[in-house]
């Protein structure tokens, strides 16, 4: 999400991994540096109890919390807080898979560009490799 939301290529500053067999990252916590002095942190875990797919963006005037954009059919919301004012909005519970399938069909039938491509995948893999190395793991 980080690369697509910020439209920047983040630089991995540090990473901590909980490693399982055979050298699989069960949990990976990564700190990044973005342009203009911005920082970011991601945490991905396959071993923490329960499922959570949340994103929080904090700024000088407030924060935005996005809850469960990956599996919206199980509930989702965006909560925006600016100063002392908060608003909350829930979106469709339509599964993300149906949006992906719709985009694929549109690309095949009409030649519409997909939001990501092989070049984007390579950029994402470079960030993941950097995180693995920072966590003391080997790249894939």
Per-residue pLDDT reduced to its tens digit, 90-99: 999 999 999 9
In whole angstroms, what separates CA 5 from the centre of its chain?
8
User: What DSSP designation does 114 have?
Assistant: P
In a domain, 30, yes or no: yes
Containing structural domain, residue 6 = 2-51+93-134
| E strand residue ranges, 6-89 | 11-20, 24-33, 39-45, 54-58, 62-67, 77-82, 85-89
The verdict on residue 28 lying in a domain is yes
At 97-130, the pLDDT tens digits run 999 999 999 999 999 999 899 999 999 999 999 9
- The answer to the question of residue 124 being in a domain is yes
Asked if residue 80 belongs to a domain, the reply is no
- The dihedrals phi and psi of 7, each to the nearest 5 degrees, come to 55, 35
Structural domain contains residue 75: no
Residue 63 lies in a domain: no
Q: How many folded domains does the chain comprise? A: 1
pTM of the model: 0.84
């Amino acid at each position: 999400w980080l690369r697509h939301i910020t439209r920047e290529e983040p630089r991995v500053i540090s990473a901590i991994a909980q490693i399982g067999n055979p050298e699989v990252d069960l949990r990976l916590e990564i700190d990044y540096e973005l342009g203009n002095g911005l920082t970011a942190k991601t945490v991905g875990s396959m071993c923490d109890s329960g499922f959570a797919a949340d994103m929080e963006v904090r700024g000088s005037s407030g924060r935005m919390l996005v809850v469960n954009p990956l599996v919206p059919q199980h509930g989702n919301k965006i909560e925006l807080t600016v100063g002392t004012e908060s608003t909350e909005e829930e979106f469709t519970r339509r599964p993300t898979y149906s949006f992906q399938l719709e985009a694929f069909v549109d690309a095949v039938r009409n030649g519409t560009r997909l939001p990501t491509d092989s070049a984007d995948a390579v950029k994402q893999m470079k960030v993941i490799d950097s995180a693995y190395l920072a966590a003391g793991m080997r790249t894939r």
